[in-house]
Every structure is written in C-alpha cells, then in structure tokens.
Amino acid sequence: MPTLTRLTRPTALALMGLLALTACTASAPDRPSSGAVKTSGPDAALTVIDAPDDRDASVATSRELFDSSPVVVIAPTGDANAQELAARTAIGLGVPLLVGDTGKPTSTSTTTAAPEEESSSPAATEDSAASGLDAELERLGTTTALVIGNVEPVHDDEITVEQVPAKAADISEATGLKLAKPATDDPAGFATIIAAHEAPKPDQSGDSHASTGPSTSIPHPKRAAPLEDTVALAVDGAAQLASIATARAAGIPVHLLPAESPNPQAQASVIEALHASKTTKTLAIGAEFAGQPALDWKIRTARSGTQLPGGGQVLFPQHQFVALYGTPSTGVLGVLGEQGAEASVQRARDLAAPYEALTDKTVVPMFEIIATVAAAGAGADGNYSNELPVDSLRPFVDAAAAAGLYVVLDLQPGRTDFLTQAKMYQPLLELPNVGLALDPEWRLGPDQVPLRQIGSVSAAEINTVTSWLADLTNEKSLPQKMLVLHQFRTAMISDRASLDRSRPEVAVLIHADGQGGQSDKQATWANLHRDAPTDVYWGWKNFYDEDLPMLTPEQTMTAVSPAPDLVTYQ
C-alpha cells in the first residue's frame, strides 16, 4: 500500500473528509466515486496558452477547458518524470493536471510557517504561482487533490489531499489505474507519449484502466464527454506536459510541433489532421507561440488542407525549385514558350529530375511565366508594357497545378508601378500554387523607354506589393506565396536593406540574373550577397545561349555557394 500523506488540515476536517470518503467507498468498494466533471471549449476560435512557466500554463489550460472538477492531479514544477506519471493519471481520471511548487524536503505531513524575509524575484514568482493554483482549485470546486511527488502543500483546508510518491505502483494502488512503464525514459519523448495517450470513454469511467486490487482512496468523478469542437497544437517539449495532459483529459486531440518552428503549415501530417478535423476551435499550447506572427492565418490555412506542390504550406527551406522561364506562344523570350502547356510540364519535370540526386530537399518543377512583357512601343496606355490577358495564361497555370508544379507570374511593368500590374492578375494569384516575380530591369521612369537603360525600383514600392500579396494570401487562407525579385546590379533595388520580410505569408527570394562567363556570373552572385538583407532566399539563372558555358545541374549545386533555392532556365 502506498504512503498517503494528508497535508495540513484540522483534525475535524480530516475526519469529515475520511467519513465522506468512507461513504463513497460503501457504494463502490473498489473505487470511490465523486461528482461529475464539467468541461467547455474556449470562447475564441484561437486561444494561445503562452505562459513560459509550467505552473501558470497548467492553470491557464485548466481554466480554458474545465468548468468544474471535484478531483485534480498536482505534480511538482520542473519534474518531468513526476509530471509524466501525473499526466497519464489525469487523463485516466478525466481531470486537470495542475503544477505546483516543489516542496521542501522536510515538508511531509505538517507545515511550519517560515520566518518573514524580504521577497526576491524567484520567491515572488512562486507566490504568484501558488496563488494561481489555489484560485484554480477554488474555481473548479475541487474537493480531492491527488499530489504526485514532492509538491508544496495545498492551502485549502476544505480539500482532501492525498500525496503519493512519483512511482507507478503507488499511483496505481491509490487510483486503481494501471500505469505501465513509459515507452521511453527520456523526458524529450514524454510529450509524444502524453499527446497520444487515450482516455477512457465517458461511460467507462476509467474501467478499462482500473485495477481489480484492494480498495482505492481517490474518487473517480464522472468524466465529461470529449470536447469535439476543439483541437490543440502543442510545442513538443516537457514544459507542456501538464497542459497537454489537461487537453487530453478533456478529450481534445493534441498535435505536436517542433519548438524551433511551431508552424502547423510546415507539417503535412498536421495539415491533414486539421483538415480532417470537424473542430472549429484551436488551443495553441507553448511559450513559443507568443512569437509566431500571423498564427491565426497559419492555422486557418492548415485547416483548409490545401498543400503546395511538394507538400506542406511553406516554401522554404524544405523545397528546391527548378523553373522553366518564358511566356506562352513564343520562344523568343524563353524556353517555356517553345512548346504548349502539357509539353512544357514534361520539359520542366525533365529539367528538375537531375536535381533530386543532388539535394535532400523535395525538388519541385516550376514555371516562371512572363505575364507582362516590356515593349518597344508605348502602346495605347503609354506604359511600354504589354499585359497578357489572364485567360491566355490559364492553360499553363492549370496544367502546372494539375501536374504538381509551382508557378510565378513575372512582371515587366515599364512605366507602370508593380502593384498596379500585380492586381491585374489577382484571379491567378488566388490560386495556391501561384506566386509573383518582379523584374526591376524593366521598371522605367516617366521619361524612360526599354533597352536604353537598366530600370530600377525602390524597396518602398516592392513593399507595397509585399503587403498587398500578404494581405491577399491571409484573407483567402492560402499557403505561403513566393515573391521573386530579379536583380543583377545592386542599383536595380534601392534601399534593399529595408525590404519588408516581416510577413510570413510571403517568402522573398532575390534572383541573380547575371549572364555570360562563369567568372562574371560568380562575381555578380557574390556582389548581390554583399550586405544583403537577412531572411531572404536565393535564385540562380542558367542561360542556354548566353552562358559560357552553362553549368550542369551538379555544377549549379556545388559551384554556386550558397546553393540556390531556385534554379531558373532561360
């Protein structure tokens, strides 16, 4: 029989608790019963539990999901082993797992008031956490607390506290739950265990996990029905064990995300699970979510189930793009126009195939379609740019989508600004596999004409496109969009350091367009990287006719450093 330590309570109240426990035991000799647990989903579509302290996080999670619980489980802060056992116990009972302060070694059956001292920051934190725990127990209407491991006493004389060592056998004897040895002793794997731990169905009341041994002392409350309107995303780590357990105890599925990048868009399995889910609310658990921009968009997009060519909803760094460049109906501007849509798809696939052996990334064939073409004449609108109709591009865009190719639409705007032209192609940009490319070489001033000078654009103008494209992507719940910036001279993009890279909806890629001898191309590549903004990706162009010689795929991936994220063929 485990040692049950009843913490600090008047004798009369202890006797009352014992009599109440005995009364419950009389009706269910093997396992005392208790009142019913009541749960409800969060009010908002997205609720973030981002408290860095496991004590505060456990209280916040309980508050979001449980309206009342006559029984709770409490484990010590920072003790992953005790929390793992407590987590499975809480799930088995269908009650919240709260985290308390670690108890002092001498505090077992009695509590002695410590002399008053000046409060320090850690002490203040502990006092705050203890206050939060006590308040949560009161809110839940808790009458019995199962304390697993070394935890500071509960400051409520109306709560029956049963304390057991953090050992599976002792917990099983106290609760009637069968706790097997965890699949791993490594705390790094505990979150996976708890997220996958199955709770008994409400009408089972824990029977599938119950012991048939001696009488137990912990009441088994009637568990609530699973919360079918909510799903949880949790950072994979021991710090979230209590919150994950509380979510599982409420019947909520939990999907884990890596701490270094807790983005559901990057995990195909999570996207599929969220899309298949019939839930309407999301609980995001982990301090790392506090720094996630546009988290609402990331979750909405993941729920859509739409994935990019190559999988997931994030373009980089997991994908390697290889593009065929040009415009439909003419081969003068690039190899894309040398054949029809279906033949171009096959050519792009053949072009990308050799790269599969040269990178660990998923290789994705791609079209870069020139949508607006710089013109020698001013044209009816006077902008020296011919805008191809959306319908003329659709056969290539649709063929690419059907074949799993990505597409970017290239703009050569002449005297028009990039944003004005980008908006013309919104119907295509609302497709999940279509991004945008800006070619400053052909961005002209009010008195300039093509081929008499090299054009340029300010970072401020590019940022207006970034903002518009990001807003469109967010509004339509689309996967991340690629924004390619063509450049072969630093002067082509003024104030490049101020390019907006803050919007996760858009991945900015600088594409080096130098041609000619390889030494000159390498010099251009190095020059463009000098003082380049951070958080951008890079593209390299291979010219069939102008390069002397054109690099092979192997040379492109080994001689160009850093290796480009996008390789385009023109």
Residue 421 three-state SS: helix
* Highest mean pLDDT (candidates 107-111, 172-176, 422-426): 422-426
Which tens digit of pLDDT belongs to each residue from 359-400? Answer: 999 999 999 999 999 998 999 999 999 999 999 999 999 999
Q: Which domains does the chain have, with CATH numbers?
A: 11-106+126-304 (no CATH), 319-569 (3.20.20)
Whether residue 178 contacts residue 172, with contact meaning beta carbons closer than 8 Å, is answered with: yes
C-alpha distances out from residue 63 to 66, 127, 137, 279, Å: 6, 19, 10, 19
Q: Which residues pair with 369 in a beta bridge?
A: 326, 409
Residue 448 has which token pair?
């300039």
Residue 241 has which token pair?
């064990």
Which tens digit of pLDDT belongs to each residue from 430-445? Answer: 999 999 999 999 999 9
Banded model confidence at residue 552, pLDDT cuts 50, 70, 90: very high
Element housing 79 (H / E): none
Predicted pLDDT of residue 541: 96
Give the separation between CA 92 and CA 199, rounded to whole angstroms: 6
Which tens digit of pLDDT belongs to each residue from 478-505? Answer: 999 999 999 999 999 999 999 999 999 9
Pairing verdict, β 362-374 and 385-387: antiparallel
Question: What does DSSP assign to residue 414?
Answer: B
Pairing verdict, β 319-326 and 281-285: unpaired
pLDDT at 284 over 50: yes
Whether residue 70 contacts residue 38, with contact meaning beta carbons closer than 8 Å, is answered with: no
DSSP E strands in 195-351: the ranges are 220-222, 230-235, 254-257, 281-285, 319-326
Q: For 506, phi and psi rounded to 5 degrees?
A: -130, 130
Give the separation between CA 73 and CA 216, rounded to whole angstroms: 15
Give the separation between CA 264 and CA 337, rounded to whole angstroms: 37
Residue 89 has which token pair?
């116990």
Question: What does DSSP assign to residue 86?
Answer: H
Residue 567 has which token pair?
């390789």
Name the residue among 275, 264, 339 with its Cα closest to residue 304. 275
Residue 365 three-state SS: strand
Which tens digit of pLDDT belongs to each residue from 209-248? Answer: 433 344 678 999 999 999 999 999 999 999 999 999 999 9
C-alpha distances out from residue 85 to 150, 180, 181, 399, 404, Å: 13, 10, 9, 54, 46
Which tens digit of pLDDT belongs to each residue from 506-534? Answer: 999 999 988 889 999 999 999 999 999 99
Residue 18 has which token pair?
């014992």
Banded model confidence at residue 129, pLDDT cuts 50, 70, 90: low
Least confident of 156-165, 208-217, 368-377, 556-565: 208-217
Banded model confidence at residue 130, pLDDT cuts 50, 70, 90: low
**Within 10 A of 227 (CB to CB), how many other CB atoms are there?**
22
Residue 549 three-state SS: coil
Element housing 163 (H / E): strand 160-164
CA–CA–CA angle 148, 204, 93 (5° rounding): 15
Element housing 97 (H / E): strand 97-100
Give the separation between CA 318 and CA 165, rounded to whole angstroms: 46
- How many CA atoms lie less than 13 Å away from 325 in the CB half-sphere? 25
Predicted pLDDT of residue 183: 85
Give the separation between CA 256 and CA 478, rounded to whole angstroms: 22
Question: What average pLDDT does the chain have?
Answer: 89
Which tens digit of pLDDT belongs to each residue from 82-119? Answer: 999 999 999 999 999 999 999 765 333 333 333 333 33
Which tens digit of pLDDT belongs to each residue from 41-87? Answer: 999 999 999 999 999 999 999 999 999 999 999 999 999 999 999 99
**Within 10 A of 521 (CB to CB), how many other CB atoms are there?**
25
Give the separation between CA 541 and CA 343, rounded to whole angstroms: 21
Whether residue 9 contacts residue 157, with contact meaning beta carbons closer than 8 Å, is answered with: yes
Alpha helix stretches (DSSP H) within 476-531: 518-529
Name the residue among 232, 266, 260 with its Cα closest to residue 246. 232
Whether residue 203 contacts residue 48, with contact meaning beta carbons closer than 8 Å, is answered with: no
Q: Which residue has the higher pLDDT, 125 or 369?
A: 369
Whether residue 194 contacts residue 248, with contact meaning beta carbons closer than 8 Å, is answered with: yes
pTM here is 0.86
Whether residue 510 contacts residue 316, with contact meaning beta carbons closer than 8 Å, is answered with: no
Element housing 236 (H / E): none
> Cis bond leading into 553, ω under 30°?
no
Q: Which residues pair with 507 in a beta bridge?
A: 482
Q: What is the CA radius of gyration of the chain?
A: 31
| Cβ density class 304-326: b for 16+ within 10 Å, e for less | bebbbbbbbbbbbeebbbbbbbb
Whether residue 350 contacts residue 363, with contact meaning beta carbons closer than 8 Å, is answered with: no
Give the separation between CA 353 and CA 345, rounded to whole angstroms: 12
Banded model confidence at residue 161, pLDDT cuts 50, 70, 90: very high
- The secondary structure of 190-238, three-state, reads HHHHHHHCCCCCHHHCCHHHECCCCCCCCCEEECCCCCCCEEEEEECCH
